[in-house]
Amino acid sequence: SPVLVWFRDDHRLADNPALAAAAATGSQVLCFAVIGGSDDLRPLGGAARWWLHGSLRALGESLEQAGASLALFEGPAPSVVERVARETGASAIFWNRRYGAAEIALDTAVKKRLTDSGIKAHSFNGRLLHEPWDIVNQAGRPFQVFTPYLRTVMTRGLKAALAPPKRIPGGIWPSSLLASTIPLEELGLEPSSPDWAGGLRTAWRPGEEAARKSFRHFLSKGLRGYAENRDRPSLIGTSRLSPHLRFGEISPRQIWHAVTAQVAEHPSLARDAEKYLSEIVWRDFSHQLLHFHPHLPVRSHSSRFDAFPWIDDPKTLKAWRRGRTGYPIVDAGMRQLWQTGWMHNRVRMITASFLVKHLLTDWRKGEAWFWDTLVDADPANNAFSWQWVAGSGPDSAPFHRIFNPVTQGEKFDPDGDYVRTFVPELAGLPSTFLHHPWDAPPAVLQEAGISLGETYPEPIVVHGLARERALQTFRSLRGLE
Ligand code: FAD
């Protein structure tokens, strides 16, 4: 009888433990994915759905080249998986683990139902360097703080990445099931109109092959200098692997070993590599936190924030979302997000801080917008990062650290190239005024073709006042400092 591989956020053939184990059984391997449905899982946002579409297409093509195929079903997953197992007469099913509470509950329920009917369910770690429960402190408890977590990870070995199976002996789907498969194009993952996905198509190519190419390029051209360049949004100074990692088109283990090998060959890369790998460990850390604190995406981790008097102002929220706050670095970031489905990390921190602190808007509103518009929208990284910025999470930036969007802009986009790219109406302004156009003399504005309040907004809040208001609000909450 055949065996099944259930693909979920692990869209690759190389270093895929579930696929490798299934292929090693010597049985026919039937591969499938289940999309949507009425599970308790959080529905994907628009940009991530677009990515998923391309990612599934690429996965299907790679599986076909290896001798198998990918069948797509529509959810709910528990009944679909059970039906697939029953009607194929499979002896076992293989999958890689996920770490959110709803995902774990779903997998546990499916596993029980299958095991009760005599089908073996095998699960693997295909997503993280280390399982959340394997990196714990001396008392056996999960770390709440990153640095000791990182130190512990550094003492651990890591098995070699798995080569892709040479051939996957695909099986034949029973006709009853084939009739229930859905062609990719009919899953409705691609947005129809308006076609905002045009910008995504220009910026990205989903799939394992594209992930491999980007990573190779980063290793040869981007790793040297990463520690410095990673903070400069106008440069391609980071690996831009986040959506590929999100959908499992490359594994952190592949990255870890390749970077380590590169350093062994070029020891002068050590500092940049250490910084880069620590970011990969942040990713593990946020998954670890999500695993042990499943409320992370929906509730402030620190209960002291429960009483925070957030301001609910649809007008300022809209200005933030559209990149019309009047602060050029904030607006450039929000427009980069809308146009390309991605935003540079430094600017994610600036825009998130602006929403939470300058506008006193609940971090969950920002998290939700990012969830909908980021191609890399990730249940662990997004929630953890928003709480980090808000100051409500475990191991967070303190609330009273309030980014000044002008000095941040001047420091990290000194020539203004980033702002000029995404806020073209300011392009003609000299760099001296680019991050605070309201200080430019009228003649300079006129020369640059800018009329504040018309061609570009006046600031929606005054930095100094907003900062004071945030600090006062924060102080008014007992126990927050
Ligand atoms: P690189 O600098 O090349 O880093 C390599 C990889 O390390 C990234 O692809 C990512 O997987 C991981 N990584 C890097 N920084 C972080 C971090 N701070 N926390 C956790 N993992 C990290 N990242 C997401 O993947 N999905 C999200 O939904 C997400 N939301 C964010 C929201 C906010 C408010 C902030 C401040 C950060 C968020 N991040 C998120 C983290 C970070 O901004 C992105 O991972 C990074 O910008 C992706 O670009 P890159 O692949 O070029 O990163």
Residue list for the binding site for FAD: 226, 238-242, 276, 376-378
Tokens of 152: 């512990």
Q: Output the residue whose Cα is nearest ligand 1's atom 2.
A: 238
Question: What's residue 36's pLDDT?
Answer: 83
Q: Say how many Å lie between the CA of residue 381 and the centre of ligand 1.
A: 7
Low pLDDT (below 70) residues in the chain: 38-39, 192-194, 478-481
Establish whether residue 402 lines the binding site of ligand 1, counting it when its CB lies within 6 angstroms of any ligand atom.
Answer: no
Render pLDDT for 269-321 as a digit per residue (tens, 0 to 9). Answer: 999 999 999 999 999 999 999 999 999 999 999 988 988 999 999 999 999 99
The one-letter amino acid code at 342 reads W
- Neighbouring-strand partners of residue 70: 31
Establish whether residue 96 lines the binding site of ligand 1, counting it when its CB lies within 6 angstroms of any ligand atom.
Answer: no
310 is known as an active-site residue: yes
Render pLDDT for 173-203 as a digit per residue (tens, 0 to 9). Answer: 999 999 999 999 999 888 766 677 889 999 9
Question: What's residue 39's pLDDT?
Answer: 67
Question: What's residue 479's pLDDT?
Answer: 59
3-state secondary structure labels for all residues of the chain:
CCEEEECCCCCCCCCCHHHHHHHHCCCCEEEEEEECCCCCCCCCCHHHHHHHHHHHHHHHHHHHHCCCCEEEEECCHHHHHHHHHHHHCCCEEEEECCCCHHHHHHHHHHHHHHHHCCCEEEEECCCCCCCHHHCECCCCCECCCHHHHHHHHHCCCCCCCCCCCCCCCECCCCHHHHCCCCCHHHHCCCCCCCCCHHHHHHHCCCCHHHHHHHHHHHHHHHCCCHHHHCCCCCCCCCCCCHHHHHCCCCCHHHHHHHHHHHHHHCHHHHHHHHHHHHHHHHHHHHHHHHHHCCCCCCCCCCHHHHHCCCCCCHHHHHHHHHCCCCCHHHHHHHHHHHHHCCCCHHHHHHHHHHHHHHCCCCHHHHHHHHHHHCCCCCHHHHHHHHHHHHCCCCCCCCCCCCCCHHHHHHHHCCCCHHHHHHCHHHCCCCHHHHCCHHHCCHHHHHHCCCCECCCECCCCCCHHHHHHHHHHHHHHCCCCC
Instruction: List the catalytic residue out of 363, 369, 371, 388.
Output: 363
Contact between 191 and 89 (Cβ < 8 Å): no
Contact between 180 and 79 (Cβ < 8 Å): no
Q: Output the residue whose Cα is nearest ligand 1's atom 32.
A: 382
Establish whether residue 214 lines the binding site of ligand 1, counting it when its CB lies within 6 angstroms of any ligand atom.
Answer: no
Q: Which ligand 1 atom lies nearest to the CA of residue 348? A: 36
Instruction: List the catalytic residue out of 61, 196, 310, 425.
Output: 310
381 is known as an active-site residue: no
Establish whether residue 251 lines the binding site of ligand 1, counting it when its CB lies within 6 angstroms of any ligand atom.
Answer: no
Establish whether residue 287 lines the binding site of ligand 1, counting it when its CB lies within 6 angstroms of any ligand atom.
Answer: no
The one-letter amino acid code at 382 reads N
Render pLDDT for 78-92 as a digit per residue (tens, 0 to 9). Answer: 899 999 999 999 999
Domains of the chain (ranges plus CATH)?
A: 1-126 (3.40.50.620), 128-160+208-292 (1.25.40.80), 303-476 (1.10.579.10)
Question: What's residue 227's pLDDT?
Answer: 98
Q: What does pTM read for this prediction?
A: 0.97
Question: What's residue 193's pLDDT?
Answer: 60
**How deeply is 157 buried, as exposed, middle or buried, from its count of CB atoms within 10 A (0-12, 13-18, 19+)?**
exposed
Q: Which ligand 1 atom lies nearest to the CA of residue 245? A: 11
Contact between 97 and 123 (Cβ < 8 Å): yes
Q: Which ligand 1 atom lies nearest to the CA of residue 246? A: 25
